[in-house]
Structure 1
């Protein structure tokens, strides 16, 4: 259980922060950029949930919890030392990726195939989901970059890759099952 009695600690005043294993790193480090952007993605999901109802809201709530799991995973380097840790680190699992894939498949089954690229927009929920998609794509890029320098859980990368796809398909659902998608018209304003 997490207990936060005091919100500010002043330990980051010199531009460093502590990772999940206690190591102090610069706040602009690749690892902090990756999990910080995951946190930003989570905030965009919170905005999207203001427009969601029923199953969509429930699925977004699960994604928000997953994103906290993902942040916990990414803030803990040295996966090879997991077995020796005092407390087992929280790592993303293949089941979380599989759940997203199942949800994508179920949503996509209700949609007509695309014949054009889609512009972010349509309903308020669809527009918010497109924002979620783009921020999660940035989180994925930063996490992939981190993985070129340090160990990263492969399921974390897979989850982020599926997540942006989930947001894309969900945005189409939010646009009246794709009927209200805003389609790109190449060269329309020349």
Structure 2
């Protein structure tokens, strides 16, 4: 019991430290532009949180089940296609995927779920908002919904909460990581 408490405190302190870094670099009202956050260790923190949520949902099978399908972004990356895309196209794909994930995970907030699930849902939504701040700091354009309002071809359906969190984790490790690593300001050696 004491060991679990220390783990929670350590996790909270780590999250608090990352949050302070992000807030310091993205403080509203400053006359100077945002300082680019190119250090992939910041993203690695969010990836670890997503992986922890994924592992918790796999262990929580019956208690964390819900009878619905979730629309999620595709996570596979065809590197030849990815490298041929310009930064705006990559940004639109990633920001669109983050939007879809936020919607899917956010839909769980209204359901009566376990405290464990609710904790991971809240943390994931907060983390997606922080990742958007990190991307904004490296001049990645924000999400612009398509004018057609139709279903995005870059999505798929999953039927369980554990699959939803698995996609979340994979999306951060794949497309989000590749986008941040290829941001022009980060390639210039700014960190």
Q: Same fold (TM over 0.5)?
A: no
Larger Rg over CA atoms: 1
TM-score (norm 1): 0.32
TM-score (norm 2): 0.32
Comparing both chains, which one has the higher relative contact order based on Cα–Cα distances under 8 Å and sequence gaps of 6 or more?
2
